[in-house]
Amino acid sequence: MECFNAEIPADGVVNSIETEEISENVVKADETTLANGEDEAGKAGEEYAYLERNEFTSEIFKVEVKNMGYFGIGEFKKLLRNTLKFDVTKIKAPTRKEFAFVCFRSQEDQQRALEILNGYKWKGKVLKAHVAKASADPLQKKRAAEEQESERKPKKQRTAVEATCPLSHIAYDQQIKQKSEEMSALLAKYTQELRKVNPRAKPHLDKFQFHEVLPSPTVNGYRNKNEFTVGKNSVGEVVVGFRLGCYSDGSVEVAEVADLPHLPEQAKWAARSFQDLVRKSKFLPFNPDGNIGHFRQLMVRCSSATGELMLVAGIYSSNLSEDEQVELKQELKSFYEDLAKDAPYKCSSLYYQDVKHREAGQTINPVEHISGSTHITDTIQGLQFRISPLAFFQINTEGANVLYQKAIDLVAPTKDTTMLDICCGTGTITLAFAKHCKKVMGVEIVPDAIKDAEFNAEANGIKNAKFFTGNADDFIKSMVREALYDQEPGKPLDLIAVVDPPRAGLHHRSIAAIRSADAINRLVYVSCNPHSAKRNFIELARPESKQYKGEPFYPKSAVAVDMFPHTMHTELVILFEREPKTKADEKSSPAEGAAQSKSEATEEAVSEENTTSVT
The tens digit of pLDDT for each residue in 255-296 reads: 999 999 999 999 999 999 999 999 999 999 998 777 889 999
pLDDT of residue 316: 94
Domains observed in the chain: 54-131 (3.30.70.330), 225-379 (2.40.50.1070), 395-578 (3.40.50.150)
Binding site annotation covers 107? no
Percent pLDDT > 90 in the chain is 58
How confident is residue 7, by pLDDT bands cut at 50, 70 and 90?
very low
- pLDDT above 80 (res 4): no
pLDDT of residue 28: 37
pLDDT of residue 246: 66
Task: Give ∠ CA 12-16-18 in degrees, rounded to 5.
Answer: 110
Closest CA to 495 of 474, 470, 515, 520: 520
pLDDT of residue 10: 39
Instruction: Identify residue 285 by its one-letter amino acid code.
Output: P
**Mind listing the pLDDT tens digit for each residue in 361-389?**
566 788 999 999 999 999 999 999 999 99
- pLDDT above 80 (res 516): yes
**Mind listing the pLDDT tens digit for each residue in 71-110?**
888 888 889 988 999 988 888 887 767 889 998 888 899 8
pLDDT of residue 290: 77
Question: Which region among 39-53, 164-178, 570-584 has the lowest average model confidence (pLDDT)?
Answer: 39-53
Question: Which region among 171-180, 240-249, 326-335, 471-480 has the lowest average model confidence (pLDDT)?
Answer: 240-249
pLDDT of residue 608: 42
Binding site annotation covers 354? no
Distance of alpha carbon 422 from alpha carbon 520, whole angstroms: 12
**Global pTM?**
0.73
pLDDT of residue 454: 96
Letter string b/e over residues 301-315, b meaning 16 or more CB atoms within 10 A of that residue's CB: bbbbeeebbbbbbbb
pLDDT of residue 439: 96
pLDDT of residue 386: 94
How confident is residue 17, by pLDDT bands cut at 50, 70 and 90?
very low
Binding site annotation covers 394? yes
| Burial class of residue 593 (count of CB atoms within 10 Å of its CB; 0-12, 13-18, 19+) | middle
- pLDDT above 50 (res 589): no
Q: In a 3-state reduction of DSSP, which class is residue 450?
A: helix
- pLDDT above 50 (res 59): yes
Query: Which residues carry out catalysis?
Result: 528
Where does residue 17 fall: left (phi above 0), alpha (psi -120 to 50 degrees), or beta otherwise? alpha
Average pLDDT over residues 444-469: 93
**Mind listing the pLDDT tens digit for each residue in 313-362?**
999 998 899 999 999 999 999 999 999 888 999 999 999 999 876 665 56
Average pLDDT over residues 29-52: 44
